[in-house]
Structure 1
Amino acid sequence: MIRPKLSPRRPLALIGATLVGVAAATAFAAPASAHHSIVSGTACKLESGDLSVEWTVKNSESDLAGKITEVWTPSATEIVGIAAGAELPKSTDGELKGQQVVKAGKKPVLKISAEWWRGERHITNTARGVAVLSGDCAPTSTPTPEPTSPEPSESPEPSQSPEATPSPSTPEETTSPEPSTSPSEEPSSPAPSTPAPTTPVPTSPAPTPQPSEPTGPLVPEEPNAPVFEIIFACDALAVTADNPADGVTATIVFTTDKGATKELKLVPGKKTEVVFEAYEGLTITPSFPGEKPDPADAVAWEKPADCAPGAGGGKGDGPTLPLTGAATGGIVAGAAVLLAAGVALFVVARRRKVRFTA
């Protein structure tokens, strides 16, 4: 399969979607990490018209296990093997697999919300996957039970008993019906032991209770799309880009409310970032080099609630110094990783003039 190369315009759509979402409120001393789950599936069509789907959920992290918090599918049928509360193993330790029967007419879609705890940082993410239909399911051959009637045919041994019992003086005993009736009665008894044929083809499942559809930013569905994360710290606002090895090469310019600019380089196979010193009223707006920033795409820095008085750009209660470096590890307010959704969002934003609001 030839994978189309990511459009250079795609990253701006991704970062625009990221900027208007929920950003990570975490200590800047710890490096950002784009924790996410990877959902994929294969499906085949049953004779009933339903789809038999095998789902796979992988962890992006090789050193940290996650936990599934929500499972949602339009079919509202149970996914055996994948449920809320299940552990999402480290990528080096395996993956989650689940089986589901999707009712005819429903889309084979799965949304997974997961969480990770990296020290004091609480990271959440929602990922979406669509199963690929491979065709009709292979016919399942119903095993034909072996007839058990031959067994009684071997049991006429009792009929030989007259050879051992004939008395020299009484030949009538050989005509005794008792030995001959026992074999004739035995063939009727195996009938109940004949197993009824089982039909492994699943029937239409009944809907099972499930939570409402998870909302929020999704992981880009294209494997070569960069993943962005925004971090609100007490003294800084940072934007990171985790670009896959087959990702696009591009540059995104961020312009502050004071006109200062910084460039975020997208380099295939590398993770890059830009950092702005936080102050009251700070906003950053993404654009491509040579283009005028669109104020509708701007995002404002918000001071985390747990910052110490005087930290960062907030108004202090005294002459206290801002916390920096490792000390900021104690003011973590929690993290929400932002993984942008992609081309569809970009098309809507550019062609339909939709404005994103935080």
Structure 2
Amino acid sequence: MIRPKLSLRRPLAILGAAVVGLAAAVAVAAPASAHHTVIKGTTVCEPTTGKKIITWTVTHSERDKHATLVKVTPSINSPVSNIEGTVLAPLGKQGDTVVGTQEVAGDQTGTAKLSVYATWSKNGRITDKKTNDGTADLGRGTCEQAPPPCVSASEAKFKHTFDGPGGKATVELVGERPLCEGVEQPFTLVSYFAPRPEFSVPQYVYGEPDTDTIKAGQTKIELNVELPDCHTQVDLIWGGRDQVIEEIVKDGPTYGNKKLGSPGAPGNRSSGPNGWYNGGSKACQQPAAEFVSNCDGSVIVNLSNNGKISKYPVEFTITAGSWTKKVTVAANKGETVEVPAEHAAEVIVTADGFEAKPYKWQRPENCELPTVVAESDCESFTVGVQNPEGVTPVEAKIVYGDKTETVTVPAGETKTVKFKASDAEAAIVTFTGLDIEPFEAVYEKPANCGGDGGGLPVTGAAAGGIAAGAVVLLIAGIALFFVARRRRLRFTA
């Protein structure tokens, strides 16, 4: 029997086809088992900031290779921390995972995506590279920022009350939250002397300003200051004692918007009335004037600006008829002005805060008085009036018989009036404006009218007094004589 010879060609062809098919199958299945990263994201709300925080966790698929996270690309444009550039250990070993965070706006919703481009290496040789994506659910709602438990200095708001005429004020923190620990805000109430009841300068601090501080545990303060008994300004200011301006002068610093209730910062951070006041019913000066009359008719005016509240110079105006003079007296000083006699009949002094009272010259009691002299002869009777130096002119009225003459005698001069001798025994001399008794000048005709006449002494109020005194002394002498004689007789007996 002849058996056919077996051939291996067909089985080999079948086997070759199978191998090729298996290789193709493996080639097709390879992508399912390729190197890759695993990216997961979770989202939470951060109430202190009102932001949403995405936490990204990245690991990879290879147990025998390292993965380098070359680049990360977020779908939302905000930085992702800690991931880019990280080298991951082989899967299953320590360091095979990295965690990073990304902060996004609190109103972001939907899905956030993170793309990671990575390479794998073994023994220092890159074996693969790939980009993979992960997502995080941002939710549908908005992240609400929770209020902090306390208020910072920059966020604090206040409200205030202000009683300028009473020198009182209060300041209070607005809201239920206190100032944060260590945060303090001082306020100060200060009063001033002022030259006018409206804003004017210069101003000087009166007394001691009152300062208190709002801080943790103290949400309201009360401030009180004394006011001067004159024109004043009171200010409620933002800040402590070191912010007080001791003297407010022209072109100098002022409080501006530091006053509470001002339109600008920081004063506008407190709501309430205007924290400033100008008023007062009288001037912060104590002007005074004293008058002294001189014998010569002039008047000395002593001006002063003294007293507890005298803080400003005073301009006095002195007027006497057509004569005027202005004098400025500094605080707590004095000045003396002499008004000439020819103008000093009535003197008026005026000044701000000083009540004008006219002053009339009055002859001082110690002024030397005028004297009268007389000279008689057979045919005439001459009467003279002598006025001393340093006194005012004097007007004398001389009456002799039916004749009357009036003379005005300047200081240091003598004026005479000559009358024809008559049967009248004396001339009466009276002085206008002088509170003295009239003088009596006696005419005594000389015994021998053929010779020279002789002078006669002045009689009248002064002469009569001397005569009366002489009589009293004479009587007293006689009485003493008899008393002494009687005592002597008793002694010798």
Instruction: Tell me whether the two structures share a fold, i.e. TM-score over 0.5.
Output: no
Structure of greater Rg: 2
Higher RCO (CA-CA < 8 Å; seq separation 6+): 1
Larger strand percent:
2
